[in-house]
Structures are given as C-alpha cells and as structure tokens.
Amino acid sequence: DAGVTQSPTHLIKTRGQHVTLRCSPISGHKSVSWYQQVLGQGPQFIFQYYEKEERGRGNFPDRFSARQFPNYSSELNVNALLLGDSALYLCASSLKGSNEKLFFGSGTQLSVL
Amino acid sequence: AQSVAQPEDQVNVAEGNPLTVKCTYSVSGNPYLFWYVQYPNRGLQFLLKYITGDNLVKGSYGFEAEFNKSQTSFHLKKPSALVSDSALYFCAVRDMGNNQGGKLIFGQGTELSVKP
C-alpha cells in the first residue's frame, strides 16, 4: 500500500503570494494532521482534520487554512506568504487521530523569497 | 501547558555500544508519550509510544524507552547501536488541552551519530 503522499515536494514562492499544499493519506485513514518544521526545530502542529471536520488548531495566524475532502485527502493553504513561512510542511495520517501513531509523508519544502 | 525537552542537541556513540537519547516531559495528568525518528529529507517515522501499563516500552528497530514518572522522563535506549541508527530523534507528548484533537507537541530533536 502507498504511504502518505504529499505534493509538490519542493516549492519556491515570493512574499505576498499564496500556496496550496496537498496530502493523500494512507488508504483507510480518516484523520489528517499538518505540521510545520522549521530547520533545526521540532514539528509544530498546525491543524488536524477527522471525518472532514476540524478537530484541532495550532497557534498559527488566520493566513493558514486547511480542509479535508470526502476522499480524506487534504489541502493546506497559506495566504500572504512571509519569509518566516519557509519550512518543511509535513502531513500525517492516522486511523482516528487520537492516541495512535502518526504516519508522516516526506513533506513539502517551501521556500519564500 | 504540556511540553517536552530534549536536553542534548547531539549524541555521539560508537557502533556496538549502548545508546540513550534523553527526554523529559511536563504534563498535567497522565502523559501520552511518543518517539519518532527522522532520516535526511524524509518525514518522521514512529518508533514507540507509552500510553499506560509497563514502564518499559519496546518499539521498532530494537529501540525501547523507559517511562519514569518520578523523574518525568521517557529516555530512548538501544543496547547496541548501528551506524544506520544515525538520524534525528524526536520525543513528543500528546496535548490534552481543549480543541487540540490528536495534536503532538515535539521536542527540539536530538541528532544521533553512530560511528563505526
């Protein structure tokens, strides 16, 4: 079975632009979470979705938004990009999203110039 | 607020020697603790978790972790290190706050280097 897939793998944007990152969870997994990993730091929680509803939100500005589709795939949108948004964005899926282990994708490396 | 700390940025071990990667936590209530490993240019991979029960948790690739409530620690251990164990290791705790879903709070990470 395929693991968690994310697209694109790399992305370069300029300040003020917006970006959409995509994630396909493992087949059968209904929960998707998004994390931001800045170089040299641990991942920071952005959102969690379960059964297409938002179940958790991290301490990120409203420029960050996400949604989950009926097939359980997910998109993360970031508007009005700042230099500080440059990071590795990780998507993780799980069956239910509570105390289970998370399966992470390889991430999207976003560079904002 | 829940938090985890990894006091060592880097751990160096010779192949075949035992290794320990340290983690301490701060939570209100019973902690749900995890260890993940990250190889270069890859996402994180689950190693093990502690929810309840036996204080010694066995995980993937021969790793284990010992939960110590009195010392609020959850150190990762392996009896005999391999060069292929060289990677970035993250300790994490489940955030039990309201509207946090399955949110994990990660430590800063510890770079493990195993030399032949």
Continuous segment of H or E residues that includes residue B114: strand B110-115
Q: Which residues of chain A have a Cβ shorter than 8 Å from any chain B Cβ?
A: 4, 31, 33, 40-45, 48, 50, 55-58, 90, 92, 94, 96-107
Mean pLDDT, all residues of chain A: 94
Residue B11 touches chain A, beta carbons under 8 Å: no
Q: What is the dihedral angle through the alpha carbons of A66, A69, A73, A75, rounded to the nearest 10 degrees?
A: -20
Contact B93, B100 (CB under 8 A): no
How sure is the predictor about B24, in pLDDT bands with cuts at 50, 70 and 90?
Answer: very high
Q: Using an 8 Å CB-CB cutoff, list chain B residues near A96.
A: 102
What are the tens digits of pLDDT across the range A17-64?
Answer: 999 999 999 999 999 999 999 998 999 999 999 999 998 899 999 999
Q: Using an 8 Å CB-CB cutoff, list chain A residues near B32.
A: 99
Q: What is the pLDDT of residue A38?
A: 95
Task: Give the closest-approach CA distance of A80 to chain B in angstroms.
Answer: 25
Residue B109 touches chain A, beta carbons under 8 Å: yes
* Residue in chain A lying closest to B52 (CA): A99
Cis upstream peptide for B31 (omega within 30°):
no
Residue B75 touches chain A, beta carbons under 8 Å: no
Contact B106 A42 (CB under 8 A): yes
Residue B40 has pLDDT above 90, yes or no: no
* Residue in chain A lying closest to B104 (CA): A45
Cα B66 to the chain's mean position, in Å?
A: 10
Helices H, strands E: what count in chain B? 0, 12
Residue B100 touches chain A, beta carbons under 8 Å: yes
C-alpha span between A24 and A9 (Å, rounded):
13
**Rounded (5°) CA angle B38-B43-B45:** 60
How sure is the predictor about B25, in pLDDT bands with cuts at 50, 70 and 90?
Answer: very high
Contact B49 A98 (CB under 8 A): no
Q: How many CB atoms lie within 10 A of CB A80?
A: 12
Considering A6-20, A38-52, B46-60, the range whose residues carry the highest mean pLDDT is: A6-20
Q: What is the pLDDT of residue B101?
A: 67
Residue B52 touches chain A, beta carbons under 8 Å: no
Nearest in space to A20 (alpha carbons), one of A37, A35, A8? A8
Q: Which residues pair with B32 in a beta bridge?
A: none
Token output for B22: 């340290």
